[in-house]
Amino acid sequence: MTSAMDTKNFRILWGLRIMLKWKLFLWKLWHNGIATTHNLYNRQIGTSSECPICLADIEDTQHLFRWCPLAIEIWDRVSLGVQSPSGSNLSFCDWLSHWLIFFSKEDIHPSRLPKFVGALWSIWKSRNDQVFQTHRPTIQSLVIQLQESDKQHDIFLAQTHDPTRNPRDPNTPPGFCYVQLGQRLSAARPSTVQIDGSWDRRTNAGGVAWATTFDPDFIQAQQGRFFFALSALATEATTCLNSLLWAKSTRQLNIKILTDPSVLVQLLQAENHQDISLKWTILRIRILGKTFTSCQLQKVYRLQVSMAHQLAQWCRKNRRGVG
């Protein structure tokens, strides 16, 4: 059964804007679940609980992340003031909770939270380099490790702000499958338009829907239509055309359209298309797209068009439009 403290810690972690692997790492720290020599020795694994860095004390979380010379050097490097004498009597969990809450509430210096967690991560990584690869920590290696932590967090933030990235595949580069339909790529922030279609092979009933947002969690406007189509691809193409007509009518000239099927993007990338049933729809999309200052169609993961997907299904099943 989860204790009240566990629930509080979980809520704190859930709200932190840091990488998932850092959240898991912090959770293990809270529960004393990392493989320090002291923990291993208590579980009858290993012959000593001695700190492998300084050889002067047992290696528990309190020592490793606060008082070991390795930790002291890293905390001096990041200059966060977490080694103040007033907190010397705190347990490690209380010390960790205090600084996570303190830094997470900062508006003036929001970068101090990832620097704090990155320093903890760097201590653990540097310690493991010593234990498993016999790479003795040096001033240079510590600086490199801290820089690497900062770099990883910067990449995480870039991925978070990119609505076209597959959230389940962090190795997938953003923008890997797209077509520019507009006149040029604008430097201004575009309106993001989710589009999706839903088609029933048995009845040829189809639903098309689109939703535009300026923020991932806020729907600015959404519309859907019911119609009959000959194929799933025809449904997706009709969805794209209708979303462009709607965006044009609302005077949005800088848009990024997110779509689930890659075949629609590939269809618009190709110079010629042999399917006569889609020829005129594709041609109208291209002609209309050129009237926008910037109009990019990009393939994304299904989860990233979930609002449009749900609305398209509703329109098909209920044979009604919305908006």
> Tens of pLDDT along 77-95?
998 989 876 667 889 988 9
Q: Mean pLDDT, to the nearest integer, of 252-274?
A: 82
Q: Using CA atoms, how far apart are residues 10 and 235, in angstroms rounded to an integer?
A: 43
The pLDDT value given to residue 267:
83
Q: Output DSSP code: residue 86.
A: G
d(CA 221, CA 234): 24
Mean pLDDT, the chain, integer? 83
The residue-averaged pLDDT of 257-279 equals: 79
HSE of 192 in the Cβ direction (CA atoms, 13 Å)?
22
Asked whether the predicted pLDDT for residue 218 surpasses 70, the reply is no
Q: What is the arithmetic mean of pLDDT over 201-208?
A: 91
pLDDT of residue 290: 92
| Cβ proximity of 106 and 61 under 8 Å | no
Type of residue found at 51: C
- Residue 230 is predicted with a pLDDT of 87
Split at pLDDT 50, 70, 90, the class of 127 is very high
Under the banding of pLDDT at 50, 70 and 90, the label for residue 171 is: very low
Predicted local confidence at residue 315, as pLDDT: 92
pLDDT of residue 304: 83
Per residue, what are the HEC states of 304-321? HHHHHHHHHHHHHHHCCC
Which of 219, 21, 46 has the alpha carbon at shortest distance from 121?
21
pLDDT at residue 317 tops 70: yes
**Is pLDDT at 32 greater than 70 in this prediction?**
yes
Residues 103-127, mean pLDDT to the nearest whole number: 88
Mean pLDDT over 146-155 rounds to: 87
CB 164 within 8 A of CB 296: no
Residue 59: pLDDT band (50, 70, 90) is very high
Q: Which has more confidence, 83 or 214?
A: 83
Compute the average pLDDT of residues 195-206. Answer: 91
Length of the chain: 323
Secondary structure class of 277 (helix, strand, coil):
helix
Residue 253 has pLDDT above 60, yes or no: yes
Of 147-151, 155-159, 273-277, least confident by mean pLDDT is 273-277
pTM: 0.53
More confident residue, 218 or 158: 158
For the segment 23-48, the average pLDDT, to the nearest whole number, is 91
Domains of the chain: 19-161 (no CATH), 178-318 (3.30.420.10)
Q: What is the pLDDT of residues 128-138, one digit of tens each?
A: 999 999 899 99
Report the pLDDT value the prediction gives residue 161, as an integer from 0 to 100: 53
> In the chain, pLDDT over 90 holds for what percent of residues?
38
- Average pLDDT for 53-66: 94
Structure tokens at 102: 């303190």
Per-residue confidence (pLDDT) for residue 279, from 0 to 100: 84
Give me the percent of the chain exceeding a pLDDT of 70: 84
